[in-house]
Every structure is written in C-alpha cells, then in structure tokens.
Structure 1
Amino acid sequence: MGHTRARRRKNPVAWGVLVAVAGLVALPVASLVAIALGGDTEVWPHLAAYVLPTAVRETALLLAGIALLTGTIGVGTAWLVTGHDFPGRDTLLVLLPLPLAFPTYIVAYVYADTLDFLGPVQTGFRALTGFRSPADYWFPEVRSLGGAVVVMSLVLYPYVYLAVRAMLQTQSAAVVEAARLLGAGSVRLACDVTLPLARPALAAGLALVLMESLNDIGATEYLGVRTLTLSIFTTWLNRGSLAGAAQIACVLLIVVAGLIALERAGRRGRSFSSGDDLRHVSRVRLHGWRGLLAALLCALPVLLGFVLPFAFLLHEVLSRGLLAGLDPALVRAAATTVGLAAAATVATLALGFGTVIAARLIRRPGTAPLTAAAGLGYAVPGTVLALGLLSPLIAVDGVLDAASRALWGTGVGLLLAGSGAALVIAYTVRFMAIATGFSQAGLARVPTDLDDAARSLGAATPAVIGTVHLPLLRPALAGAALLVFVDCLKELPATLLLRPLNVETLSTHLYQFASRGSFEEGALAALLIVAVGLLPVARMVRLSDDLDRARPLA
C-alpha cells in the first residue's frame, strides 16, 4: 500500500494537469503585464493625469457605497429572518435571494428608463402636480454615482444575506442562550454576539459583492459612472490604445488583490464552528408594529430588487407583443448563448474536476497553491480577462495558421480569436473557481480509504475516478454545472470584447438595444436571462431550507 501511495504522489500526469490548468488561468495576467510594460511610455503620463484620478475615485466611492448598503441590507435581513418570527417570514425566506437572478445591467436599464424625465414615474408625478420642467421640482438622479450604488446594491445584497444567514443557521444555541440568561436583549445580543461571530461570513459575502461590482460594465456605463473597468473598455475600443487599457487593467488587478487581502483579514482568527450543539437558536416572536416593521424591512429589498424590475420586463414584453412574433435575431442570440454556455460548462467542469482529482492523487501540500491558482480567474474582471487573453490567442492562431499553410497549403485564419472558442476559453478561466470549489467540497466527504480499497482490488486510476469519485460527486457537479451555465449566460464584459463579428448573445443583444436607447425592445431577452437565472437561486433556497430542517430548535 505504501509503495502504491508513493507512486501516485509522483504521478506525472496529475502534476501536468495541475500545472497546465494553473498556467491557463495565470496566462491572461502574465500577458496583460507584458502588454502594459511594452507599451508606449507616453501613454502612462496621460492616463495618470487625465483618466486614472477620476476612474480610481469613482471606483472607490462606488465600492464603498455598495459595501455599506449591501452589508446593511444583507446582515439586517439575515438577522431578522433567522432570529425572529413575524408575519410573512416563511415567504420572505424564499423571496430574499431572488434579486441574484438579475444581472446588474438589466436592473440598471429598468430603473434608468423608469425614473428618467420621460419615464412613467416622473411623467405621472408631473401630471399630478402640474409641474412642467425639471427646473420646477427636484427628483433623485438615477444616472449618477449614488444611483449606481443603490441600483447595484439591490441586486447584490443576497451575497451577503446568504453568507450571513448560513453562519447564523449554524451558530450554537448555547452561546445565545448564555447571553440571554445574562440579560442581553435582541439588539445587544446582535451587537455583542451575533454580528461579531458573523464577521467572517460578512467578509466573504462582501468580497463576492465587490468582485461582481468591479466586473460590471453595463450598469456603470448606462448610469454614467466612470469606473476603472469602464475606462479599460473605452481606452481600448474608443481610443485604440491596447497598452493604455492594459496599464489601467494592472491598476484594477491591484485593487482586486487588495480586496482579497481585506477579505482574508476579515476572516482571520474567526471560526464558523457551531460546536457540538446542533440546535437552532430559538426565534423571538415580534408582535404588533414590530412584526409589521420587520416584514416591511425584509420585503423592501425584494420589492425593489426583483418584483418591480420583473414586473416592468413582463409588462414591456406583453404590451409590445414581443411573444407574438419572435425576432429571428433574438432566436439566433439565444441559440448562440446556449451553445457557448454549454461548451464552456463542459470545459469548466472537466478542468475543474480534473484539477481537484489530480491534487487528490498526488496528496502533497505543494499542490495547494496550484489548486488555489486554478480558481483565481473568478477574481479577475471579465474586461481584464478578455484583454489578457487576446494576445496569447492571436499568437496561437499564428502558429496554427503557419502550420496549416505548411501542411495543406491553406491558412486557417483566426481560428481561436476570431471564433466562439475565445469566449469559451474566457468563460472557462473566469468560472473555473465554481467547478473547483464544488469538486473540493464534494471530494472532502469521500474518504481516501475508498480510493485505496478500490486500488487494492486491482482498479486502475481511471476506474477509481469513474466508479468511486464521479458517482459520489454527481450532485456537486450538477450544482456547479448549473451555476457555471447561468454565469456564462449573464456575462457581458468578456462577451462584448471577445465575441466574433456579427455574433450576438442574449446579453450583447440586450446591450445593443440599451445602447440605442430602446432597451424596452430587448425586454424579452432580459426576461429570458432572468428566468434562467432563477434556477440556481431556487437551488440555494432549497439547500437553505434543508439546513433549517436538519437542526432542531433550542
């Protein structure tokens, strides 16, 4: 047995898989740095003087505002529904995560069109009051930094809500009961016990929120916020400066690294452990106005982040008759989206699962950095990823074209960079973290003794993977596949920059309508994206309910 283990630790194929996948994820970053360093030296002074000050300031203010608002909403709602009983609580448990089904850019399009001067809200207000022009009254400007903070927070707060609620569900009842015996009321209990214990979950949730905020380009562009991500996009496409865009992207990567460091600092020295006490904390019953206020506070984020945008889209689809005669362009975009997302899902699961299996076969601490590196793509915004992938893909295309001409006398052109393959690769690199995370969580429940037992019966490595690992990991891989597919469906920045000419996905199809000021015409595409986005949210709600039922009340 010892000889078998030693031989597996030296498995060259497993090491090759780990190094190759980690290299694939690191390649865009390395390429980006090379482009930035090799650019014209005159570009950086211009960027530092005229582009970066505004971009850095607006990005910092946007992130700070979103962190404050999503943290307040997420922690507050999680604390209310987990520790209290009030009217509508059970329904709100299902509804609170639903805004995650919306990409930020769709909600931004909805609120911008609804709250603009010519939108239904201000038009109705003027009809009621007799006002005629914006000079006659004040109305909040949604196309602003503050508007972007509010709109994006309404979509992203469930990341914090789900993380904090999961921690509160596993919190030991004994700790809370001891505090109550010492006379702590609900507010003091929350401030002195619950929230300090929730700090790791809050840090993890806010890290996801801020990563998603940095990745956004549709909402910030539409609402007029000049972030670093948007500056990369405009510097590359509008000003034709690839090196300048790469230099801004390097600044953005520094911001991402800072966020990761802050997230780890927020979790340091803290534990999610609930100890041996598996009981739920008994919920406090809120009566009268307190119960109604709790229900209202939990219902508002759902109303503003899901119900109103969904109702707007449904109204536009029905009132414009978009279901009566389907636009052929929409059908093509939907088919393209499904094909690209499916291909990327298969590639992501294969590489993510392969990475985790390779680390298990080797069983050495040295594999941990490589496995972690394979999941870092999610921290890289889609715009940065697209920029970093372009040069390597063109270089590979050049080699393939030269080889094709030498062998068959005809070139293949931009086989990767000029086709959907570029998008599949970008999606795979960006969402690899989902596949590796789910696979690691699933394999952690499979004892290595099962591997050794199968080998002692003569099973080779492929047989062990096929008969032991894959069957036991099927639920985890199914969950990962669902999340990856939906994230590919919603991804806008990388898709905008890497899609082939005259090829549209649902997200870019919708983006084109919004760019022309006719977002309502793309309401059906938006509704399709949201409908598919509801699938993983429903699964998260079910898992949360299962955890609730698994632990008795104190």
Structure 2
Amino acid sequence: MSGIQRIDKAHLESLARSRQPRVKGNRHLSAHLTALAACAVVLLPILSLGFVALSGSGDTWPHLIENVLPGSSLTTIYLLSLVAVATTIIGVAGAWLVVGFDFPLRKMLAWALVLPLAVPPYLAAYAFGEFFHYTGPVQGLVREIFGFQTIRDYWFPDIRSTPGAAFVLSCVLYPYVYLTTRIIFLMQGRNIADVARTLGARQAKVFWRVLLPVARPAIVAGVALVLMETINDIGAAEYLGVRTLTFSVYATWLNRGSLEGGAQIALLMLLLVVMLLAAEQWARRSQRFHTGRATHMRARPPRVRLRGFHAWLAVLATGLPVLAGFGIPLFVFGQYASRRLEQFSSPEVASAFANSIVTAAITALIAVMLALFLINAVRLCRSRTITASVRLASVGYALPGGILGLGLLFALARFDNGIDMLARQYWGFSTGLLLTGSAAAVIIACSIRFLALAEGAIRSGIEKLPANLDEAARSLGYTPRRSASRVLLPLLKPAILTAIVLVFVDTIKELSATILLRPFGFNTLATYVYENASRGVPEEGAVAAILIILTALVPVILLSRALARDREALM
C-alpha cells in the first residue's frame, strides 16, 4: 500500500505542476510567432504584387484592356471550360466503371488510372506535340494507310491550339477528378445503386438520377484542383501557342518590359483562383455532409459483371486515358532517350539533376519542419488567431507558380537592394544579390507553395491517432515539448516521410516559379527540358524528362499501392 501511495502522491504532484498558472503573455510565445511569421511570408508575394500593380503610372493599362486582356481572358475561360468538361467525363466514367462493374483487367486499371499524375503538363505537351506532328507516328500511319503524299492531301487536328491544349491537359489532370469521385462511389455508390436497381431502375437511370447527384460535391472539388493546375501551367500553353493569362504575365513583363502590367494581370488571375477556391471549399462542405452519412463499406453488394462487347468497351474506356496520359509521354521520351544514352553522363544533365535534387531536398526539409511547427502551434494554443494563421499559411498551394514567383521576386529584390544599400553606406562594400541571385529564391518559393502538401499529409497522420494521446502523455508529467518529441513524432514517422516525398517530387516538377526566380546559369531538370523545347528541340531534353517522370512515379506508386491494398477495390 505504501508503494501505491507514493505513486499516487507523485502522480498528483505532477498533475499539480502541470496545472500551475502561467503568464499568459509568454505562454507558447514561440508557437504564436512561428504561425504568424509563416502567414506573413506566404502573404508577402501577394502584398508585393499589389504594391507593384498600384505603383505604376497606369500607362500600360489602356493597352492591356484593349489588346491583351480580352483575348487572354476569353482564351483562358475557353481552355478552363474544355478542361473541366473533359476531366469530368474521363474521371467520373473511370471511377464509375472500376467501382460498380467487373470486367477484364479491372484490378490493374483501377490503380493504373492514377499514373498520368506522374507526368507534368509541360512534358505531356512536348510529347503530344511530337507524337501528333507531321513527321510523327500518327500522321505517318494515316499517310501510309490512305496513300496521302503531302499535308495538303488531308486534314488533321492541330494539337497547337486551344482545344489541343485542353486535350493534353485533360489527359494528365483527370486523376484529380477520378480519385475524389472514386472515394464517394466506394463509400456510398454501390450500396445506393443496388437499392435503386432492386426498385427496377436501369443502369443509366441509376447513374444519372442517383450516383451523379451523390458525387457532385466530390466532382466539383476535383475539377477545382484541375482548373488551378491549368491556371498554373506555363510550359504547355507556351509550347502549344495558347495565349492564356499566365502566358500574358510573362509576355507583358519580359517582352514589353512592364512590371506593373504583369503584376496587374497576375492580380486578375489571383481573383480567378479565389473564385475556384471558394467553389472547392463549398464542395468540401457538401462532401462532408454526404460522406458523414455513408453506409458501412464492408457490407457491399457484388459488382455488375460485364460480358462481351460491353466488357471490352469498359476496358477501352478506362485504358485509353492511361495510354494517352502516361503511355504517350513515356513512349516519346523513352524513344528519344534511347538514342541519347550518352546524355545520362553529360555535364549539363548531371548539373540539372544535382540542382533539382538539392533544391527539392532542402525545400522538403523546410516545408516539413515548418508544417510540424504550425501543427504543434494549433495543438498547443487552441486559438482562433493561430488556426486562421495556419490556414492562411497553407494557401500558397493555390497560388499559381507564376504569380508566386513574380510577387516574391519583387519582395526579394527590395530586400537585397536594402541590404546592399546599408552595406555600402556603413561598411563600404556591396553585398550583391543575396537571395535573388541564388537558388535560395527558388527554395523559398517552393517552400511557400508546397507547405500545404506537407501540412495536409502530417495533419492526416495526426487525425488517425487517438484524440486523448497528448492528454495521456501530459497526465504522466510530460511537458508539451517532450510530449511532441517523445510521443507524437515517433508515431508520425510514416506521415512525415509521405510529406517529404510529396514536397520533394512536386519541387522537382515545378517550372513556373523556377523560370522566374532561378539565377543565371542555374538549371533544374524542368528548366532544362523547357529550354530545349523553347529552342524547338524537345528531344534534346528527353533524358531529363525521363528522370522527372521516374522521380514523380514514386508518390504515384505509393498511392497506387494504397489503392491496391483497399479490399473494396479488389473484391
């Protein structure tokens, strides 16, 4: 009994110490400062853009209204509309088929439909441009079959057009819609569809009247992500000759030398992104309503077995998107790379590869560490101000790379010039460009943009842990810092590794911000491919393109394995 009394006494003393009042002004001060500082850094590019846009004389605005904005805005809206329709059709049809029906190769196609996520849009544009070119295999086959001699003898769709760009972007971006819709169909679709069929409804009526309304919030959320990626694109639009608002930002700044004009177009794009974010958030609220009333996933009726013509039609409908979005880029760049094996050891490719790896690794570490600090701040403070700051700090992923790069460039240039002026005035030497003249600017931009990926991955890991785990550690006398380092971090290792991989891969694929912020003579794999494509020789960047695709396959394979482990996907 004496031992038990000593344990109880020690336990009560630890509880008393943990409940002692603290000075409110100093309580978790570092957590507050970290969250507020992260929010300020993310908002810095936006504030910088606004300052530059309003600081001009306004001479370029009439030119923009008359000659640039009407055409670019209409082209952007037209492109977004085509991409939205195409990705919705491909993603929803694929999810409906693999979840509700049984046909040959269904198990393999259920995870293969995610593979196009490994191909950045600009690589897809270069590959499709070569594949459908006059000298490419498709038109060569057409001429051979029908006996045509020249391009004047037949008509062939032009891939270098707005519909062509929409086709290319849809082939690699539809997995966003497929994944969000597939989750809803898995959780609810087959059960309610089976109930509807028992009441005499046919397959088409079940889809249009039952499944589609249930999945509408998930479809809207997926399409919003697709459209934000479309707005972010610069490589595909430029290569295919589509003058979107993103392209106009670069053209106005670089060709006309108007920083103010580029900033003004960027702010207009930002307004469009805010509208898409609002639509995505609305869809998420509606989606929680539907999923919250999902029936149990284990009690699942069997899939409808397709036979004969309908079975192979389903194979074709789910297999063609994989072949187009992943097969064509892999075929084109693999064929070019096989003829240039010496480039794997060339100094240019080796330097671009090393720059990509170092930049991505540093960015991943910064983003993950900052995400851990922010999540810990929310956990400790439980303050609305801190929660709002963390949400604002995560909005960087919604910013197109061009907008983020342009705004950050202005801010970092002012910082470098200010430091240089102080050094000249007080110490008599010039510091030069500390941030804008180095890869640090690229790392800062990617850390801001991909912080949301790290925060989301780690937060999802925390949500899987018991809600009272932290309180249990505190009841044993652990301080908040010790509880985080000794209890939470070891349990969060899988989520942290996932966050590192996601940020690492997305940094390697990043092009829009890197083009603006990279120092002279500094190439990553993405900019190396972009430079060769801009010179009209995308085949010279084939080795770098293959390296990007192989690197990007890592998280896609992890996601595909997760889908394969889902028993509902295999039954």
> TM-score, normalising length from structure 2?
0.92
The residue matched to 1:271 in structure 2 has which SS? Answer: helix
Contact 2:344–2:350 (Cα < 8 Å) also in 1: no
The one-letter amino acid of 2:170's match is S
1:490 is displaced (CA, Å) by: 0.6
Residue number among 381, 388, 391 corresponding to 2:407 in the alignment:
388
Task: Give the unaligned 5+ runs of structure 1.
Answer: none
Deviations along 1:38-67, whole A, 9 cap, x unmatched? 112111111011000011000000000000
The residue matched to 1:171 in structure 2 has which SS? Answer: helix
The one-letter amino acid of 1:180's match is R
Paired with 2:185 and 2:515, the residues of 1 have a C-alpha distance of: 39
Establish whether residue 226 from structure 1 lines up as the match of residue 225 from structure 2.
no
Residue number among 474, 478, 490 corresponding to 1:455 in the alignment:
474
Residue number among 111, 116, 122 corresponding to 1:99 in the alignment:
116
Contact 2:187–2:296 (Cα < 8 Å) also in 1: no
The one-letter amino acid of 2:220's match is A
1:210 is displaced (CA, Å) by: 0.6
Q: Which residue of 2 aligns with 1:286?
A: 306
Deviations along 1:431-464, whole A, 9 cap, x unmatched? 1110111122122233453223323333233212
Deviations along 1:161-197, whole A, 9 cap, x unmatched? 1111122222275433322221222222222222211
1:94 is displaced (CA, Å) by: 2.5
Contact 2:187–2:297 (Cα < 8 Å) also in 1: yes
Establish whether residue 89 from structure 1 lines up as the match of residue 106 from structure 2.
yes
Residue number among 328, 346, 350 corresponding to 2:365 in the alignment:
346
Paired with 1:154 and 1:202, the residues of 2 have a C-alpha distance of: 17
Task: Give the unaligned 5+ runs of structure 2.
Answer: 1-14
Residue number among 47, 50, 56 corresponding to 1:30 in the alignment:
47
Paired with 1:7 and 1:364, the residues of 2 have a C-alpha distance of: 16
Q: Which residue of 2 aligns with 1:475?
A: 494
Deviates more, 1:258-267 or 1:515-524: 258-267
Distance change (3 Å), C-alpha of 1:552 and 1:291: closer
Paired with 1:366 and 1:336, the residues of 2 have a C-alpha distance of: 38
The residue matched to 2:174 in structure 1 has which SS? Answer: helix
Residue number among 506, 521, 528 corresponding to 2:525 in the alignment:
506
Residue number among 350, 355, 358 corresponding to 1:331 in the alignment:
350
1:327 is displaced (CA, Å) by: 1.8
Q: Which residue of 1 aligns with 2:561?
A: 542
Paired with 1:412 and 1:234, the residues of 2 have a C-alpha distance of: 31
1:238 is displaced (CA, Å) by: 1.6
Paired with 2:423 and 2:478, the residues of 1 have a C-alpha distance of: 41
* Matches for 1:234-245 after TM superposition, within 5 Å: 234-245=251-262
The one-letter amino acid of 1:481's match is I
Paired with 1:64 and 1:402, the residues of 2 have a C-alpha distance of: 49
Q: Which residue of 1 aligns with 2:326?
A: 306
1:281 is displaced (CA, Å) by: 4.4
Contact 1:278–1:552 (Cα < 8 Å) also in 2: no
1:81 is displaced (CA, Å) by: 0.3
Paired with 2:387 and 2:458, the residues of 1 have a C-alpha distance of: 14
Contact 2:111–2:563 (Cα < 8 Å) also in 1: no
1:407 is displaced (CA, Å) by: 7.1
Paired with 1:325 and 1:506, the residues of 2 have a C-alpha distance of: 12
Paired with 2:91 and 2:21, the residues of 1 have a C-alpha distance of: 46
Contact 2:355–2:523 (Cα < 8 Å) also in 1: yes
Deviates more, 1:226-235 or 1:391-400: 391-400
The one-letter amino acid of 2:555's match is P
The one-letter amino acid of 2:98's match is V
Q: Which residue of 1 aligns with 2:167?
A: 150
* Matches for 1:183-332 after TM superposition, within 5 Å: 183-269=200-286, 270-275=289-294, 277-279=296-298, 280-318=300-338, 320-323=339-342, 326-332=345-351
Establish whether residue 112 from structure 1 lines up as the match of residue 129 from structure 2.
yes
Deviates more, 1:450-459 or 1:91-100: 450-459
- RMSD, aligned α-carbons: 2.1
Distance change (3 Å), C-alpha of 1:463 and 1:89: same
The residue matched to 1:189 in structure 2 has which SS? Answer: helix
Paired with 2:126 and 2:363, the residues of 1 have a C-alpha distance of: 27
The residue matched to 1:366 in structure 2 has which SS? Answer: helix
Paired with 2:191 and 2:99, the residues of 1 have a C-alpha distance of: 16
Distance change (3 Å), C-alpha of 1:172 and 1:216: closer
The one-letter amino acid of 1:371's match is V
1:325 is displaced (CA, Å) by: 6.2
Deviates more, 1:335-344 or 1:394-403: 394-403
Contact 1:172–1:277 (Cα < 8 Å) also in 2: no
Distance change (3 Å), C-alpha of 1:271 and 1:220: same
Identity, % of aligned pairs? 43
Paired with 2:482 and 2:306, the residues of 1 have a C-alpha distance of: 57
Paired with 2:69 and 2:567, the residues of 1 have a C-alpha distance of: 47
Deviations along 1:216-272, whole A, 9 cap, x unmatched? 000011111100001001111121111100000000001101111222333444422
Paired with 2:36 and 2:402, the residues of 1 have a C-alpha distance of: 25
Contact 2:98–2:110 (Cα < 8 Å) also in 1: yes
Deviations along 1:298-352, whole A, 9 cap, x unmatched? 011111111122112111111x232476221000000001000111111111111
Rg bigger for which structure? 2
Deviations along 1:382-427, whole A, 9 cap, x unmatched? 0000110012212222343345557765332111111000000000
Contact 1:400–1:412 (Cα < 8 Å) also in 2: yes
Paired with 2:136 and 2:311, the residues of 1 have a C-alpha distance of: 35
Paired with 2:291 and 2:175, the residues of 1 have a C-alpha distance of: 19
Contact 1:83–1:281 (Cα < 8 Å) also in 2: no
Residue number among 361, 369, 383 corresponding to 1:364 in the alignment:
383
The one-letter amino acid of 1:214's match is I
* Matches for 1:487-526 after TM superposition, within 5 Å: 487-526=506-545
Paired with 2:388 and 2:348, the residues of 1 have a C-alpha distance of: 45
